[in-house]
């Protein structure tokens, strides 16, 4: 819709901006679809390519037809991602650019760094007397975001990891005679949520289990690791170990804690550990890095993840469009009490989630999957197959 004469028309037509920072997830396009559906009577501009587009005020009009239907269920990101270690000058530029374009509301999709940027923009706008409403859509496969029971994107990534690692376990059992040790690396810079997902058992397949899981929250000692692997091989004839990419960073010099994740990680701790197993223990070992497939495998999307991604997108738009609703908030995801799995979406102040890292709770910081029954019960309803919910979700998002 045209925005005539630069005049604000609150309560009639509002001008909103949506952008994404960070990497894609398998369901992020569903969140964008939910946002666009809820704001279809208003004008929406796109900040394509992450925070750089906001700093440059490179805001594109929504193309005719909006988000193509075929993009909703695909991996990747229709908006494009990106990372930037933003400065106070960048925040000033963002606020000035939005004010110059007469923007009423800004929505960003992302994790704790994104919410920190959105919080800074909201604060600076207030200081400058710019009437700007802000709302965040949670998105991270790492699940390290406060204000949520689980972040959209995590459940599908967890389903991918748990499914693939079970197949890797079967393959490993077949190859035990020439490859007794296999070490599988998941994403997760500072937290072990995805590594834990690899331990989810498959009903009736208890024979093919992960033997150990190593989380950044637990620290890491090479000598203890090697002793444990030797013991596992002695007892089981093989050792299947899962490690988070943020484990033992001193072995790889990986820039795990680079500001706003602006330095590329390509994996490697699993391969380095496999080399140590071979050289120190004399046991053939393979290091496997699951890589970016964890965050973009659209064929293993979970039903809960697909549904909730649409919901948080729609609620973010509704929050921006309602002058009576709070601003400077993120749409949360929390479980409702009672039997079965149900979620609701409280609005969480950005100040309560900005730049905070949600680590794995102490009760789930265990290396032996046999001690993770409570975690498995928490995760199981999140990783159910997409089944025949695809059509309903696509229609809701269109």
DSSP 160-190: HHHHHHHHHHHHHHHTTTT--EEEEEE--SS
CATH T-level topology, domain 155-298: Rossmann fold (3.40.50)
Other Cβ atoms less than 10 A from the Cβ of 280: the count is 13
Token pair in block for residue 237:
């004839």
Residue 266 pLDDT > 70: no
What average pLDDT score do residues 319-338 get?
96
Token pair in block for residue 335:
């479980």
> Contact, 226 vs 281, CB < 8 A?
yes
Whole-prediction pTM value? 0.91
> Contact, 156 vs 27, CB < 8 A?
yes
Q: Looking at per-residue confidence, does 267 or 168 come out higher?
A: 168
Across the chain, mean pLDDT equals: 89
Supply the pLDDT for residue 390.
Answer: 38
Candidates 23, 107, 145, 72; CA nearest to 301 is 72
> What confidence tier does 250 reach under pLDDT thresholds 50, 70, 90?
confident
Q: Which residues of the chain form CATH 3.40.50.450?
A: 4-153+299-357+386-397
Model pLDDT for residues 38-61, shown as the tens digit of each residue: 999 999 999 998 899 999 999 999
Residue 4 pLDDT > 90: no
- Within 13 Å and on the Cβ side, how many CA atoms surround 257? 7
Q: Which residues of the chain form CATH 3.40.50.460?
A: 155-298
Instruction: Specify the DSSP class assigned to residue 115.
Output: H
* CB contact burial 216-248 (16+ within 10 A = b; e otherwise): bbeebeeeebbebbbebbeeeebbbbbbbbbbb
CA 335 to chain centre: 18
Candidates 66, 65, 101; CA nearest to 317 is 66
Residue 6 pLDDT > 60: no
Supply the pLDDT for residue 207.
Answer: 62
DSSP 36-57: HHHTTTSEEEEETTTHHHHHTT
Residue 26 pLDDT > 70: yes
CA distance 290 to 296: 12
Residue 97 pLDDT > 50: yes
> What confidence tier does 297 reach under pLDDT thresholds 50, 70, 90?
very high
What average pLDDT score do residues 61-83 get?
91
CA distance 320 to 42: 11
Residue 389 pLDDT > 50: no
Supply the pLDDT for residue 72.
Answer: 93
Q: Which residues pair with 343 in a beta bridge?
A: 335
Supply the pLDDT for residue 254.
Answer: 59
Supply the pLDDT for residue 83.
Answer: 84
The set of residues, in sequence order, having a beta carbon less than 8 Å from that of 162 and lying 6+ positions away, is 197, 198, 199, 200, 202, 379, 383
Domain 4-153+299-357+386-397 CATH (choose: 3.40.190.170, 3.40.50.300, 3.40.50.450, 3.30.390.10): 3.40.50.450
Supply the pLDDT for residue 81.
Answer: 86
What average pLDDT score do residues 368-385 get?
93
User: Which active-site residues does the annotation give?
Assistant: 142
> What are the helix (H) ranges across the chain?
28-38, 51-55, 88-100, 112-127, 154-174, 193-197, 222-236, 269-281, 293-296, 303-321, 373-379, 390-397
Residue 203 pLDDT > 90: no
How far is residue 184 from each of residues 23, 196, 214, 229, measured CA to CA in Å?
Answer: 22, 12, 10, 14
Supply the pLDDT for residue 204.
Answer: 65
Contacts for 343-349 with beta carbons within 8 Å, 24 or more apart?
343/149, 343/304, 343/308, 343/311, 345/311, 345/312, 345/315, 347/319, 348/146, 348/147
Q: State what percent of residues in the chain have pLDDT above 70.
A: 89
Other Cβ atoms less than 10 A from the Cβ of 149: the count is 14
What average pLDDT score do residues 219-230 get?
96
Element (H, E) at 366: none
Token pair in block for residue 60:
């594109």
φ/ψ of 322, rounded to 5, equals -100, 105
CA distance 393 to 291: 27
Q: State what percent of residues in the chain have pLDDT above 90.
A: 79
> Contact, 29 vs 72, CB < 8 A?
yes
Model pLDDT for residues 110-164, shown as the tens digit of each residue: 999 999 999 999 999 999 999 999 999 999 999 999 999 999 999 999 999 999 9
> What confidence tier does 395 reach under pLDDT thresholds 50, 70, 90?
very low
> Contact, 91 vs 54, CB < 8 A?
no
Candidates 81, 48, 50; CA nearest to 292 is 81
Supply the pLDDT for residue 85.
Answer: 86
Q: Looking at per-residue confidence, does 70 or 397 come out higher?
A: 70
CA distance 240 to 211: 5
Supply the pLDDT for residue 386.
Answer: 54
**CA quadruple 308, 86, 78, 156: dihedral positive or negative?**
negative
């Amino acid at each position: 819709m045209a925005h005539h004469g630069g005049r604000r028309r609150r309560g009639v037509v509002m001008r909103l901006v949506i952008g994404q920072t960070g990497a894609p997830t398998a369901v992020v396009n569903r969140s964008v679809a939910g946002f666009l559906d809820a704001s279809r009577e208003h004008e929406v501009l796109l900040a394509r390519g992450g925070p750089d587009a906001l700093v440059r005020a490179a805001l594109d009009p929504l193309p005719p037809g909006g988000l193509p239907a075929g993009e909703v269920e695909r991996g990747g990101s229709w908006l494009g991602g990106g990372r930037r270690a933003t400065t106070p000058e960048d925040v000033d530029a963002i606020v000035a650019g939005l004010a110059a374009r007469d923007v009423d509301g800004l929505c960003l999709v992302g994790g704790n760094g994104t919410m920190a940027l959105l919080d800074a923009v909201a604060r600076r706008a207030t200081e400058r007397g710019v009437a700007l409403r802000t709302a965040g859509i949670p998105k991270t496969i790492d699940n390290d975001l406060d204000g949520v029971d689980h972040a959209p994107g995590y459940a599908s990534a967890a389903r991918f990891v748990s499914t693939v690692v079970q197949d890797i376990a079967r393959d490993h059992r077949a190859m035990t005679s020439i490859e007794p040790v296999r070490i599988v690396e998941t994403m997760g810079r500072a937290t072990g949520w995805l590594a834990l997902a690899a331990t989810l058992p498959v009903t009736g397949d208890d024979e093919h289990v992960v033997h150990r899981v190593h989380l950044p929250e637990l620290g890491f000692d090479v000598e203890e690791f090697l002793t444990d692997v030797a013991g596992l091989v002695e007892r089981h004839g093989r050792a299947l170990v899962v490690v988070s990419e943020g484990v033992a960073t001193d072995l790889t010099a990986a820039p795990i804690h680079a500001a706003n994740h602006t330095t590329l990680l390509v994996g490697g701790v699993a391969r380095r550990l496999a080399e140590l197993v071979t050289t120190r223990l004399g046991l053939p070992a393979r290091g496997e890095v699951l890589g970016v497939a964890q965050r973009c495998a659209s064929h293993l999307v979970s039903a809960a993840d697909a549904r909730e991604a649409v919901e948080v997108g729609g609620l973010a738009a509704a929050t921006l469009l309602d002058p009576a609703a709070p601003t400077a908030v993120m749409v949360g995801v929390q479980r409702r009490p009672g039997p079965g799995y149900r979620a609701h979406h409280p609005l969480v102040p950005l100040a309560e989630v900005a730049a905070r890292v949600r680590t794995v709770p102490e009760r789930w910081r265990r290396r032996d999957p046999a001690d993770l029954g409570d975690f498995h019960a928490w995760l199981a309803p999140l990783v159910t197959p997409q089944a025949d919910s695809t059509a309903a979700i696509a229609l809701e998002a269109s």
